[in-house]
Amino acid sequence: MLCGIDEAGRGPIAGDLVMAGCILNSPVDGLNDSKKLTEKKRESLFELIIKASSYHIVKFSAQAIDADGISKCLASGLREIMQNLKCDEYLFDGNTTFGVDGLTTMVKADGKVAEVSAASILAKVTHDRDILKEALKYPQYHFEKHKGYGTKLHVEMIKKYGYCEIHRRSYKLKALQGTLF
């Protein structure tokens, strides 16, 4: 039995890092790397995956990422998933285990292995749903448009309004150098 693991939200400058582990108990048609699917398709697959799997989702806030660093959060998330989903094999999308034993990696596994594709979708949909809730709380940042990534619009809004509580202050952007927040 295989547990696929993937994350969403490693690169944005705002919002949570979301990690998901997934063991498929029955097949789900249409799985792929979440980035290659439309939002509508990801949403419909999310519900199917929930019904067809055992899964565990872990979130790390901007404050946790700033305090511990992204690598430590990823390692902690991997360990938590492995503790909560007992399995014969754990496969993480990417090329590093972040020092976690008992884990294998595969680059682009989210597009090649159904369990990792499912984890990718669980993580991405959870991340995007959460950032859309934050967009309602902080409409001035337009999170619904950029999902927390450091786009030109997002950087301009930070320059105008400063950081809010979901911004990762440890992520340094050249465009914000010299700006005090």
Q: What are phi and psi of 108, to 5 degrees?
A: 65, 25
pLDDT of residue 132: 96
Q: Is the pLDDT of residue 43 over 80?
A: yes
Predicted model pTM: 0.94
Domain count, the chain: 1
Question: Which pLDDT band holds residue 178 (cuts at 50, 70, 90)?
Answer: low
Length of the chain equals 181
In a domain, 84, yes or no: yes
In a domain, 145, yes or no: yes
Rg (alpha carbons) of the chain, rounded to whole number: 17
**Which CATH number does the domain housing residue 167 bear?**
3.30.420.10
pLDDT of residue 172: 78
In a domain, 181, yes or no: no
Q: Is the pLDDT of residue 171 over 70?
A: yes
Handedness of CA 129, 134, 140, 146 (dihedral sign): negative
DSSP classification of residue 98: T
Largest CA distance in the chain: 53
Q: Are 50 and 81 in contact (CB under 8 A)?
A: no
Residue 54, CB half-sphere, CA atoms under 13 Å: how many?
11
Question: Which pLDDT band holds residue 89 (cuts at 50, 70, 90)?
Answer: very high
Name the residue range of residue 68's domain: 2-176
pLDDT of residue 29: 96
Q: Is the pLDDT of residue 121 over 90?
A: yes
pLDDT of residue 179: 59
Tell me what the pLDDT averaged over the chain comes to: 94
Q: Are 97 and 103 in contact (CB under 8 A)?
A: yes
Q: Are 93 and 108 in contact (CB under 8 A)?
A: yes
pLDDT in tens, 129-156: 999 999 999 999 999 999 999 999 999 9
In a domain, 151, yes or no: yes
In a domain, 8, yes or no: yes
Q: What percent of the chain has pLDDT over 70?
A: 96
Question: For residues 127-157, b (16+ Cβ closer than 10 Å) or e, as one string?
Answer: bbebbeebbeebeebebeebbbbbeeebbeb
Whole-angstrom distance, CA of residue 3 vs CA of residue 152: 37
Q: Is the pLDDT of residue 173 over 80?
A: no
pLDDT in tens, 57-76: 999 999 999 999 999 999 99
